[in-house]
Each structure stands twice: as structure tokens, then as C-alpha cells.
């Protein structure tokens, strides 16, 4: 079992829909990261969370430390949101290097 | 500062050749990381530096792989005697440590290696 699990693996939505991507982890962490990767490889850091909730534009990230679960929400989705979204954690025992989930491929159709 | 820069963007090499990649991190960041990503998978940790000290190497990093960060600024990752299984995207990232300083990681665009 992977230490970081994401669901769903693939998600197709219509433009304007509300989208949720989930992440569960099984280890102690110092922070959880949501990352976005477009075709061609570049990774952009969206959020770093250690508790509660953060919002940036149409993106919202929440984390429940007790349940070891995080969600990434996209409101009013747009085709330009199409990308791979990756959940990653910094483990308490390993400093700040990241352990990654396998990613969620999001496709938003116009 | 223009972010994390990686060179080259693409590298095609013949099996058995040596290759070297370069990463220039954000200048204020004290940590630099190398990850490897194969198609359809999440990135895997290879090694990281705090300033010029290499603090950890993954078991994934065989003796053919070596990384340096000689002055605590840019880093190089060298692969000797490349094999087809080395074909992957090699990602560099930098950050502040401890994480409470700064805004998390900044990733480079990666170097895509193809071994033929």
C-alpha cells in the first residue's frame, strides 16, 4: 500500500463543474502539498498545508490531520484547469523531502 | 530570481554514455532536491542537499548516479554508463528548511532523458 493515496486516478468534468480530488496518507507528516503538472513536465506548487484550509482564486485545499485526509477543490472548472494534480507529503522523520501520490489526471471539457 | 532552472530540457543519449544535468535553484533556498519521474507515475525521491551537504540518497540511486552541489548554489546530477531504464524526467526542486519559512517547494521544468 502506498503511503500517499489519491482518488480518483482520472476525472473528466464539464466546464463549470465543481471538482474534488482526495488524498489520504498513512504516515506522520509535517506538511501536505498539492501540486499541478501540465503536459511537458513542469510542476507548480499550489498549496502547502499543515492544518485547516487555504484558498487561492478558484482553488481550495483542506486538511484533516486526525483523519489523515486532504481534499483539493476547484470551483467553476475551466478547460485550462486540465492537468495532473499531485498530492505529496513531507514526513516528520525525513525532513522536508516529499513522498508523492500517483496523481489525478483531470480533463475539463468545454 | 527567475525560479528553478534546469538544463538541458531534453537529452537523448546512447546506452553506455555518461550524461550530466544541471539545476540552478532559487538563490535564497537552502535545500535542493532531485527527483525522477517515469511516465504515468508520481515523482520518486533521489537525493537532497542542504547548502553544500548531501544529506540523503535514495536506494534508487545506484553507484552510477552521483550528485554534487559544490558551493551550495547550483547542483549537477551525473549518470554514468546510462541504461535504457534510466529514461525518465529528472526534476529538481528547491525550498527553505524548516518548512515554516517560505511557501513550500519550487520545481524546475525538468530534464527529459531518453536512452536509446
A90 touches chain B (CB under 8 A): yes
Q: Give DSSP secondary structure letters for A88-107.
A: EEEEGGGTT-EEE---EEEE
pLDDT in tens, A18-63: 999 999 999 999 899 999 998 876 899 999 988 999 999 999 999 9
Question: What is the pLDDT averaged over residues A96-103?
Answer: 89
Contacts of A94 in chain B (CB under 8 A): 56
Contacts of A30 in chain B (CB under 8 A): 99
**Half-sphere exposure of residue A13: CA atoms within 13 angstroms, side-chain side:** 24
Q: What is the pLDDT along chain B (116 residues), one digit of tens a residue?
A: 579 999 999 999 999 999 999 999 998 889 999 999 998 888 999 999 999 999 999 987 889 999 999 888 999 999 999 999 999 999 999 988 876 655 678 999 999 999 99
CB contact under 8 A, B110 and A41: yes
Which of A6, A34, A41 is the best residue to mutate to test the B interface, defined by the most B CB atoms within 10 Å of its own CB? A41
Q: What angle do CA A93, A97, A98 make, to 5 degrees?
A: 100
B15, three cell numbers: 546506452
Q: How confident is the model at residue A93 (pLDDT cuts 50, 70, 90)?
A: low
Paired sense of beta strands B111-115 and B10-13, if any: parallel
Amino acid at each position: 500500500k502506498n503511503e500517499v493515496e489519491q482518488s480518483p486516478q482520472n476525472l473528466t468534468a464539464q466546464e463549470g463543474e465543481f471538482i474534488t480530488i482526495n488524498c489520504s496518507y498513512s504516515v506522520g507528516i509535517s506538511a501536505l502539498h498539492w501540486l499541478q503538472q501540465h503536459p511537458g513536465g513542469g510542476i507548480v506548487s499550489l498549496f502547502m498545508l499543515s492544518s485547516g484550509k487555504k484558498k487561492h482564486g478558484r482553488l481550495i485545499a483542506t486538511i484533516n490531520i486526525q483523519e489523515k485526509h486532504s481534499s483539493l477543490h476547484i470551483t467553476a472548472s475551466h478547460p485550462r484547469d486540465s492537468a495532473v494534480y499531485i498530492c505529496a507529503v513531507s514526513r516528520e522523520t525525513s525532513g522536508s523531502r516529499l513522498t508523492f501520490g500517483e496523481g489525478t489526471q483531470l480533463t475539463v471539457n468545454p | 530570481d527567475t525560479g528553478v532552472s534546469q538544463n538541458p530540457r531534453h537529452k537523448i543519449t546512447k546506452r553506455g554514455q555518461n550524461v550530466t544535468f544541471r539545476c540552478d535553484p532559487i538563490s535564497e533556498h537552502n535545500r535542493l532536491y532531485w527527483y525522477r519521474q517515469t511516465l504515468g507515475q508520481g515523482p520518486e525521491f533521489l537525493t537532497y542537499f542542504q547548502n553544500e551537504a548531501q544529506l540523503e540518497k535514495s536506494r534508487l540511486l545506484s553507484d552510477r548516479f552521483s550528485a554534487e552541489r559544490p558551493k551550495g548554489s547550483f547542483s549537477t546530477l551525473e549518470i554514468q554508463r546510462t541504461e535504457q531504464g534510466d529514461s525518465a524526467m529528472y526534476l529538481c526542486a528547491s525550498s527553505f528548511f524548516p518548512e515554516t519559512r517560505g511557501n513550500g517547494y519550487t520545481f524546475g521544468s525538468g530534464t527529459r532523458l531518453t536512452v536509446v
